[in-house]
Structure formats: C-alpha cells, structure tokens
C-alpha cells in the first residue's frame, strides 16, 4: 500500500509537470518531472528497460525532504516518467530517502537499497541525524518498504565509524550468487571510507570490513560509491566532499574520484594503484554505472555541483539534470568516456567542413564584454542541440597558435568559450558571459596534452548544457548553461592560422 505521503507526491508531480513545456527542458538529458533533482539512484536494467531513479524534491526547485523520482528508457536518451517510487514516510526515513542502488532478485522482484535518514533527540537534548540502509521491493512501478527496515543499522558498524555519515549503498551480485554492498562512511579522523557488507539474499546483511579508505588524501566524506571491473582492472567511483585541488585535478569542492586498481574476488580485497578525477569541468557528481546487455559499462552523473546548485532562481519549475550516459573504458591506465553510441541514431542534418583555414587575425573581442566583433562563423555551424566533432591543427608548426577559441551558445551579447592553449597544454571552459547573474564558479582549466598543437574534441550541446570530450574521451569537461535558447551561434577565433575539420549534426 502506498502511503499518503507518496500518493500526494505522485498527484503533485502529475499535475505540475503539465506546466513545464517540453522546450523548457533539455531534449534528451533527464531532468526532474517537477522540482529538484540531484544524484542518480538505482540505475539498472529491469524487465528489459533501463530504470533511473533520482534524488527528488517535487515541491520545490531546491533540495528538501528527499524522495526517489523514477524514469524508464529503452535507449538511455528518451525517458518516460514513472510515478515517484519512494517518499519519506517511515520513522526510519522520515527526514529523507537518500541515495542508493537497485538490482533484480532471482524471483524477478526489483530490490531498491537506499539510505533512510532520521533525526532524533539524543540524551543531552541535542538533535542528531542517523543514517541507516533500508530496502524496498517492487515490480518496477510500486515498491513496498521492508517491514524489518533498516537492514544495515548503525548498531552493526564497528566503533569509530560515523553513524551520521553512513549512506549511499551500492549493491552488486557476485558470480557465486551472493551479494555485496558498499556503504559510504566516515572514519574516526573524519575522512571517507567505504564499508563492505555481504548478503546471501539481498535482505539480511553482515558487515565485512573497510573496503577502501581515504587516509586523509581526497577530501573528507566519500559519497555515492560504485564498484565494478572494467578492461581487466577494478574501479571504485566515489564523490568526495571538501576536496583540495591538486594541480589541475580536483577543483570542484565536491569532486569526483576514480580509483583504479585490482580486486581479489576470493577475499573481496581491493588494492589501489592510482587515482584521477572523473570529469574536469564544473558540473558532474555522484556518478553511477550499469552493465548493458551487450557488455558496455555505462556511467551517468548528476550534471551539477553542490557549490553552485543553490544559486539559481527557486521559482523555476525544475532544477537539475543528468549527464549524457557515457560508455567508459580504461586505456593507458586512464578512464576514457564517450557519449553512448545510441546518440548516433539521433543525428540529423550532417554538415562537414574539411581543412578549413581560420585566419590568425580573427581574434574575437567582446567590446565592453558585450558585442562580438571579428567572429568567424561557418555555414550551418550553429545550434543548441548538437553533436559536433572538431579537430584543430596549426597551419604552420613554426607559427604555433597561443589561443584558439570556440564560442558556443552565442549571440551579440552572450557566449560560452572553450579555449585551447597548446603551448601550455591547457583547455579552459568559461561560461562567465553565458547569461548567469550569479558570481559562482564559471571557469575551469584542464591539463590536456596536445600533439604538436593538434587536438580533437567532441561536443554535445543539449539546450542547457555542454559536455566536451577530448582526445577520444581521455578527458571530459561538463558544464550547465543558463543561456537563453535563442542564442545558438558558434564562433571561432585564433591568434595564428589554424586548420580545422568539423563534422556537425543536429540531435533530434
């Protein structure tokens, strides 16, 4: 039986989604049915469809008491909303149904594993928050919370492990049919660690050990873990809070971390080899992955960041989007990511410009930061819902350009720039003039090795976002854009002659 709280949320979302015109949303990136969205949750395949749940506050475009929103898709690009899956309606999750994961049970039922948040007054009169892991079982639409929740209570974790920061369970099934679950937690020194639990039925869980540990290196609390094997290596994804920048890595405050190592299946032991950030842009967090039927590991993330997510107009009817799903690989000891190949079936109106010379004198200047002059445009290269490949090379290697700028989402006033600096091996994204009225972070630089001044990029624009993949996916930079949809110009400029190859499609 669905609770009154869930019934109300379902009624509300059904009524209020109607007030959001389709053009006011991204075309193929999932946004909340109404209100606020953060982390992807329960990303899985169930009954031959992709299911994606999400942290959801239907009643406001700001974070609030968390529900699980729900959508399904056949291709990970066209999503259909289903009714909200869970609401904060039990004593153990009354203050939030936080992030988690999903799996199909052998009998065909769908198991959701999530964090229940409960605040209560403790002995000294202080209000304290407790987080426990809970389950709900259902048929892909309706879910029943388990009557003996929580299934991983704070009583089972060893002394010294935080009972307040104990969340975001990630479940997987091993080849022998048993289950494992990683839960994010904080150690005594306040730094993040991942706790491993084991189960024979997905319902009753035993604590095993600390699976991975921050040791004071990468931020504080580690949120939203994922674990999987890929291309012969073992990977942990997590999203740490309070990260310190290191060189060009980890500039996001709440950042993303990919630990690459090995895994001993018999003893459930992960050995870390090296780490990197997952995305080098501004808006990417809390990623989860699935394994598709044809064996691809696909990642999706929340296309936002906590430091700027609050700085928007709360009167908007929706806020928050997922990234494009990305196929991931490990190559040369690095994480590679590219848009899922299904996006190719959305391509229309192919435009190609081969070997085009962009003359060096055409340096874009924004007079008073406003009017664009000397911009180079190319026939039919424009749009806000596009898939564009760009190869840049210096015309003369002895006259290397210092700075090549691609500006997107432009009109005379607004633009967002991707700036290529081969002499420094730097690519910068800059959305200062994207129409934002907030003094939040608008720029990010990544260190990307150029090849004698050459570099490749694939750019996906979907109305209110840009996702740039460099050098066949070795680096990704993601940012949301507030720019009015009518600004669809694309401009080029460089201080020395450059040759470009461009292939561009509209996505429909």
Which residues belong to the active site?
A: 39
Report the 10 Å Cβ neighbour count for 200.
Answer: 12
Buried b (16+ CB within 10 A) or exposed e, 358-397: bebebebebeeeeebeebbebeebbbbbbbbebebbbbee
Identify which of residues 54 and 336 has a Cβ nearer to ligand FRU in the complex. Answer: 54
Name which position in 134, 224, 259, 502 contacts ligand FRU (CB under 6 A).
224
Give yes or no for a contact between 114 and 169, defined as CB atoms under 8 angstroms apart: yes
Identify which of residues 224 and 282 has a Cβ nearer to ligand FRU in the complex. Answer: 224
Residue 55 binding ligand FRU, by CB under 6 A: yes
Total residues contacting ligand FRU (rule CB under 6 A)? 13
Residues with Cβ < 8 Å from 316, sequence gap 6 or more? 61
Name which position in 38, 185, 289, 338 contacts ligand FRU (CB under 6 A).
38
Identify which of residues 168 and 279 has a Cβ nearer to ligand FRU in the complex. Answer: 168
Name which position in 6, 30, 44, 66 contacts ligand FRU (CB under 6 A).
66
Residues with Cβ < 8 Å from 137, sequence gap 6 or more? 105, 109, 110, 111, 112, 143, 144, 146
Identify which of residues 165 and 496 has a Cβ nearer to ligand FRU in the complex. Answer: 165
User: CB of residue 84 vs ligand FRU: minimum separation in angstroms?
Assistant: 14
Residue with tokens 């202080």: 126
| CA-based nearest residue to 507, from 456, 467, 457, 475 | 467
Identify which of residues 49 and 164 has a Cβ nearer to ligand FRU in the complex. Answer: 164
Identify which of residues 117 and 328 has a Cβ nearer to ligand FRU in the complex. Answer: 117
User: CB of residue 168 vs ligand FRU: minimum separation in angstroms?
Assistant: 5
Name which position in 87, 135, 136, 286 contacts ligand FRU (CB under 6 A).
286
Chain residues 158-177 in contact with ligand FRU, contact rule CB under 6 A = 167-168
Own/partner pairs, 394-398, CB within 8 angstroms, 24+ separation: 394/422, 394/452, 394/453, 394/454, 394/496, 394/497, 394/498, 394/499, 395/357, 395/496, 395/497, 395/498, 395/499, 396/496, 396/497, 397/452, 397/453
Residue 115 binding ligand FRU, by CB under 6 A: yes
3-state secondary structure at position 440:
coil
Name which position in 13, 90, 93, 223 contacts ligand FRU (CB under 6 A).
223
Residue 98 binding ligand FRU, by CB under 6 A: yes
User: CB of residue 72 vs ligand FRU: minimum separation in angstroms?
Assistant: 21
User: CB of residue 305 vs ligand FRU: minimum separation in angstroms?
Assistant: 10
Residues with Cβ < 8 Å from 352, sequence gap 6 or more? 502, 503, 504
Give yes or no for a contact between 68 and 85, defined as CB atoms under 8 angstroms apart: yes
The rounded distance, in Å, linking the Cα atoms of 71 and 58 is: 14
User: CB of residue 71 vs ligand FRU: minimum separation in angstroms?
Assistant: 17
The rounded distance, in Å, linking the Cα atoms of 281 and 239 is: 14
Q: What are phi and psi of 4, to 5 degrees?
A: -60, -40
Residue 395 binding ligand FRU, by CB under 6 A: no
User: CB of residue 368 vs ligand FRU: minimum separation in angstroms?
Assistant: 39
Identify which of residues 256 and 362 has a Cβ nearer to ligand FRU in the complex. Answer: 256
User: CB of residue 57 vs ligand FRU: minimum separation in angstroms?
Assistant: 9
Contact residues for ligand FRU (CB under 6 A)?
38-39, 55, 66, 98-99, 115, 167-168, 223-224, 285-286
């Amino acid at each position: 039986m669905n609770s009154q709280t869930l019934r109300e949320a379902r009624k509300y979302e059904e009524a209020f989604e109607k007030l959001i015109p389709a053009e006011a949303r991204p075309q193929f990136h999932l946004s909340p049915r109404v209100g606020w969205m953060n982390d992807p949750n329960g990303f899985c395949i169930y009954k031959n469809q992709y299911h994606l749940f999400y942290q959801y506050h239907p009643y406001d475009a700001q974070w609030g008491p968390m529900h699980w929103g729900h959508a399904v898709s056949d291709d990970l690009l066209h999503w259909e909303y289903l009714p909200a899956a869970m609401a904060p309606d039990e004593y153990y999750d009354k203050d939030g149904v936080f992030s988690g994961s999903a799996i199909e049970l052998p009998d065909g039922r769908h198991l959701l594993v999530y964090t229940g948040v409960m605040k209560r007054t403790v002995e000294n009169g202080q209000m304290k928050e407790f987080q426990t892991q809970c389950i709900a079982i259902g048929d892909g639409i309706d879910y029943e919370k388990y009557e003996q929740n929580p299934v991983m209570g704070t009583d089972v974790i060893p002394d010294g492990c935080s009972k307040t920061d104990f969340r975001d369970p990630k479940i997987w099934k091993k080849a022998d049919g048993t289950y494992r679950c990683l839960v994010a937690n904080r150690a005594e020194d306040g730094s993040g660690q991942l706790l491993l639990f084991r189960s024979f039925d997905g319902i009753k869980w035993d604590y095993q050990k600390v699976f991975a540990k921050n040791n004071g290196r990468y931020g504080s609390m580690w949120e939203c873990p994922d674990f999987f094997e890929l291309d012969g290596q073992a990977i942990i994804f997590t999203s740490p809070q309070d990260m310190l920048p290191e060189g060009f890595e980890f500039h996001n405050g709440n950042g993303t971390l990919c630990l690459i190592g090995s895994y001993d299946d018999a003893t459930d032991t992960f050995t870390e080899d090296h780490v990197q950030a997952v995305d080098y842009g501004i808006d990417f967090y809390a990623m989860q992955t699935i394994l598709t039927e044809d064996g691809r590991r696909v990642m999706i993330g929340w296309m936002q960041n906590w430091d700027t997510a609050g700085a928007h107009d709360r009167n908007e009817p929706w806020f928050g989007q997922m990234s494009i799903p990305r196929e991931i690989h490990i190559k040369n000891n690095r994480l590679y990511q590219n848009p899922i190949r299904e996006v190719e079936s959305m391509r229309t109106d192919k435009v190609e410009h081969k070997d085009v010379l962009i003359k060096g004198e055409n340096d874009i200047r924004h007079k008073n930061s406003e009017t664009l002059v000397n911009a180079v445009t190319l026939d039919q290269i424009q749009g806000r819902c596009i898939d564009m490949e760009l190869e840049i090379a210096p015309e003369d290697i002895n006259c290397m350009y210092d700075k090549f700028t691609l500006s997107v989402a432009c009109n005379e006033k607004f633009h967002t720039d991707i700036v290529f600096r081969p002499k420094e091996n730097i690519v910068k994204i800059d959305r200062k003039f994207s129409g934002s009225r907030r003094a939040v972070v608008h720029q990010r630089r990544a260190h990307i090795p150029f090849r004698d001044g050459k570099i490749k990029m694939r750019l996906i624009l979907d109305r209110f976002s840009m996702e740039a993949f460099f050098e066949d996916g070795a680096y990704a930079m993601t940012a949301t854009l507030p720019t009015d949809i009518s600004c669809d110009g694309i401009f080029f400029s460089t201080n020395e002659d450059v040759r470009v190859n461009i292939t561009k499609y509209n996505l429909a």
